[in-house]
Chains A and B, each alone.
Chain A
């Protein structure tokens, strides 16, 4: 299918998310949309997929103008989409999810799932997906869930497939497998729109690249273009994000985690006898694909999990079994992974969000009442110190961009003396400029001799910040390796190899190929 977008504009009130965008996708080609978070890529795709009505502009399929009133129309025209957040019902089986909206029936509306299962098996065999039609979606790893999304599109005979940030949730190995799938689909004549901000993948898979910044097309590029050049085009200024940081070995052991086990409501261990040490003045980065126990590790330290056994000692004092408030009061600073629900209270003002961890004590409160003068002063000081971009401290936190919300969280947590600092996904969904700032503040805290744990699914961030790196897989520690360990080794560990196995395998691979890798870009954009 040949697809043309002509002058697509989409405005939400006064905010223009897409500004007269032109795009041509040729049959059997991979066309990449490159841009930062919030550049307008997903909005454009939602317009194409019929979820939004464009304010202006038209869409042409094989030269004929089309008008989509809903996703149903887009699908009928042969457009399929794999959303960044999967559109799968977790409590349904694979077959039920694939059937939904396109059900085969035995007449009288009675479901005939057998026909759907057959269609799934056919596609699964053709592309080597290994998907069981009767598995419950919530039990499947994200990589497999993504394949279910692709099957959904293929069952509906999609000629053009939109992949919205498809690698954000995948291990390096799963990413490679996805790249193979894309090549296979392309070989069968399917057109692909690939959306990403990861330059390495973009260069590997694209036939054409269109760069979008602040809702506008700012240029097109050839996949052979220099990575630095692409990054500058995407961000709008020359990028140099390497922090030039010093490695630190830390001093005394401050946090000792021993045999920490967390069991979920289904009786499955999500964390399995994890033992870790964190020293004063070092950053321990915890790497791993989303959902391998990182969330539970952090929540267990913060006293937020049930069914937890083991021991967590901070400076010799047991934390496990204490209330979250006691843990916070013992000097633990915490940046939760889900900023908008756990990090800030969206309807509270920025000033109020900045005192949430000490609302009940001097000097924020006196005799049971808050001290507005202090809260206002504190807000002004923190807004200046952390470069929080807002017109007023009295705006609500939900009015801030993701990066600025994260600065509020960091400013709040750093506003007292810490004995331990934990940051979970500190830069997820944050613009490139803020990433650098947040990283520098975390390093500064480390340099004050505070032990720091940074949990991240972004390999670049892990490599950038970690003095040592622990890799979690299925709730177990696969090994703890030095901060300068190569991506290949980390990737293997994230897929379940132990540190020794991963090192041996990476060595073997290096001997087999003499070619050098692309130069690596730091800061989560490569």
Chain B
């Protein structure tokens, strides 16, 4: 999309306006909602829970003043984006991130200010966000692994779901959490192996295979849930994965309970993000994987087996995503239920794009989406005049804005989605 303006001199200027529209819209919403339609009063955030050793005072923000400040900052951001476009400069990478963060903080203050509760616990808001983001992080890491090697993985949702199912079944049969987690990884790999069979070996359109696999897994687990897991067969009662607080570190206000009181899956997530980032950008394996995803023929001509690299990566990605699925049945609820992943895999797909196909980017994007999802839960509990349907839309609205507009010219691996044929 572009627009042309004719100036007095007769010269013509053609500009790209997609991104500008979204920045402008964001700033306009900010101005009207946070500024003119501010509920006024104050918004209070609790920073400590009652059992904490160190108690922090209540954080109280004047809603109207904060709203105006944020609106002005958003307008400044939009103006900067407009100026960059006008002078044809590349927008710095932090601009969309800061813009999105400001917008979310604005919404948070506005919603809390207009709610009926006196104070919202910031800690439970954040820990809840992290918990909701966890399977999403695993899912988007699985997606990063596949797409960096050039295979589009739409089947993240199916991998999470089969992982959740396999964790329930494997955990019930073996009675151990390790058995459950291994089963979950195998479940993800099973979905991946079908994806590689069709997408890499038979070169079927990868989007179609991915979508079909999601429907297939949903149907399969639904069927097995109705037959295998019915009548209290004892197959749907996996053990729970306990939280392990790290002594000392978990006492730090806010950060302690947030970061250092996790389940094994939580700690493993931080390790996985770091290890995958290092692996992709600092090792021989990563260099080869990225080359295969960018220019498979170049990789082939220096003796790298393109299709084997892709198959291994998609399988590894499946294991990671499947492991993430075990969160549902081992941590969040202790039994499997039909379609319990509820679209998280698709949001994970958006997170990996918003995170620019980078493990660390995907991690932070997942956190943003997890935060938006949790915000609606917390606020509907706190009681607010905003209809719950609108709150439920929040994560999806943020997803669309983030992926469509604020990302800008983010570059997918050049060969992503294209099967490789020799010669």
Contact = CB atoms under 8 A, between A and B. Distances in A.
B400 to A, nearest CB: 22
A96 B289 CA distance: 12
A111 B303 contact: no
Contacts of A305: 14
B10 A318 contact: yes
Nearest to A266: B90
A252 interface: no
B423 A100 contact: no
A320 B4 contact: yes
Interface string B1-13: 0101110001111
A110 B409 CA distance: 30
Contacts of A306: 2, 14-16
A387 to B, nearest CB: 31
Interface string A55-75: 000000000000000111101
Interface stretch (A86-94, A203-211, A221-229, A457-465): A86-94
A318 B4 CA distance: 12
A109 B284 contact: yes
Interface in A76-91: 81, 83, 87-91
A318 B297 CA distance: 44
A360 interface: no
Nearest to B302: A101
B39 to A, nearest CB: 42
Given A87-B295, A103-B284, A320 B301 contact: no
Contacts of B89: 267
B60 interface: no
B2 A71 contact: no
Interface string A135-175: 00000000000000000100000000000000000000000
Contacts of A103: 284, 287
A448 interface: no
B302 A87 contact: yes
A321 interface: yes
Contact of B302 (A91, A102, A266, A309): A102
Interface residues of A, number: 44
A311 B301 contact: no
A320 B14 contact: yes
Contacts of B302: 71-72, 75, 87, 100-102, 152
A99 interface: yes
B304 A311 contact: no
B90 A267 contact: yes
B11 A71 contact: no
A51 B295 contact: no
Interface string B276-288: 0000001111011
A307 interface: yes
Given A81-B301, A91-B411, A101-B304, A307 B10 contact: no
Interface in A236-283: 259, 263, 265-267
Given A51-B423, A71-B300, A92-B294, A307 B288 contact: no
Given A100-B287, A103-B287, 5 more contacts: A49-B301, A73-B303, A87-B297, A89-B291, A267-B87
Interface of A: 46, 49, 51-52, 70-73, 75, 81, 83, 87-92, 96-97, 99-103, 105, 109-111, 152, 259, 263, 265-267, 305-311, 318, 320-321
Interface of B: 2, 4-6, 10-16, 87-90, 282-285, 287-288, 290-291, 294-295, 297-305, 409, 411, 414, 422-423
17 contacts: A71-B300, A72-B302, A83-B301, A100-B287, A105-B284, A109-B285, A111-B284, A111-B287, A263-B88, A267-B88, A267-B89, A307-B88, A308-B12, A309-B14, A311-B11, A321-B5, A321-B12
